[in-house]
Amino acid sequence: DIYYQMFVNFSSQVEVDRLISVAVTMCQVPRLVLGIMATSKGLVVGDLRYTNTEGVIVDCNLAVGGDTIPQDVTGIQNIETSAKFVLVVEKDAVFQRLLEEAVLESSLAPLIMITGKGVPDLATRQLVYMLATQLCLPVLILTDCDPYGLDIFLMYKYSSLSMSWAAEPLAVTSSLWLGVLPSDLEPLGIPAASMKPHSDQDTKKMMDLSQRGYINDEMRHQLELMWDIGRKAEIQQIVEMRDPGFLAHEYLPEKIET
């Protein structure tokens, strides 16, 4: 709303977002304290119940297709769950596919599943952080096997570079990259012909990731494999080449077990 209320003063929404980040950093307070809330785009489903800021009890088990993550995550109360872990899925298409494959009734249940629909917004990261820190739930992250999937995992694990000096605690350093890993591609039998070559942007992103000081040995190994393979794979490719239910009932349980 800030941009549209004062659009003559700003060149784009991106400029507004950048200035808000600067203001939050300078004031060293969360955005909510400044009266700033962004529209949430993330979804959550599974074994999670809470009371929202309007006093309404929300049961995420009842949300067909996922419940929209509230804008004011820090204001929710009375959080209840029996979940064993939080599964964060990069893309909404995979999130919905897992629901179709009855992941909530699988051997993985009870669980909480979240998607940020690509690059996660602030509310999505706040919810993941809250579940990990307040409820001590393990966080497992499922992304495409490409540089941007790895970058999204790192946003959840270490927060984004653009918010590295912001006051909001967002990093879940205990989170794990479940897949799809470059080392998964050969065992899964995904042929190179079915994968797209890395673009110039992908190559640039890999070079950027390799220079980040917090990349540990295992992540660096996976990044080097990604570079050597020279191609990228989407989660949907794994699904399309297997029997229905493979992702929820075979791939994920095996990955979590190991």
Consecutive H or E run containing 157: helix 147-158
Contact assessment for residue 62 and residue 72, using Cβ atoms and an 8 Å cutoff: no
Task: For residues 214 and 148, give the distance between their C-alpha atoms in angstroms, rounded to a whole number.
Answer: 17
Task: For residues 109 and 10, give the distance between their C-alpha atoms in angstroms, rounded to a whole number.
Answer: 47
Active-site residue, selected from the candidate residues 4, 148, 156, 251: 4
Q: What are the structure tokens assigned to 81, written together?
A: 């769950």
Q: What are the structure tokens assigned to 43, written together?
A: 């979804």
CA 148, chain centre distance (Å) = 11
Task: For residues 101 and 157, give the distance between their C-alpha atoms in angstroms, rounded to a whole number.
Answer: 27
* Global confidence as pTM: 0.80
Secondary structure (DSSP) of 180-234: --GGGHHHHT--GGGSEEPPHHHHHHHHHHHT-TT--HHHHHHHHHHHHH-EEB-
What string of pLDDT tens digits covers the 258 residues of the chain? 554 455 555 556 566 566 666 665 566 555 555 555 556 688 999 999 999 888 889 898 887 888 888 888 888 889 999 999 999 999 998 899 889 888 888 888 899 999 998 888 888 998 999 999 999 999 999 999 889 998 999 989 887 655 555 556 788 888 899 878 888 888 888 777 778 888 899 899 989 888 888 888 888 898 898 898 888 888 887 777 777 888 888 888 888 887
In the annotation, is 158 catalytic? no
Give per-residue pLDDT as tens, 11-43: 565 665 666 666 655 665 555 555 555 566 889
Q: Where do we find the tokens 């699904």? A: 239
**What pLDDT does 3 receive?**
41
Task: For residues 146 and 155, give the distance between their C-alpha atoms in angstroms, rounded to a whole number.
Answer: 15
Q: Where do we find the tokens 């009932």? A: 249
**What pLDDT does 192 receive?**
74
**What pLDDT does 132 receive?**
93
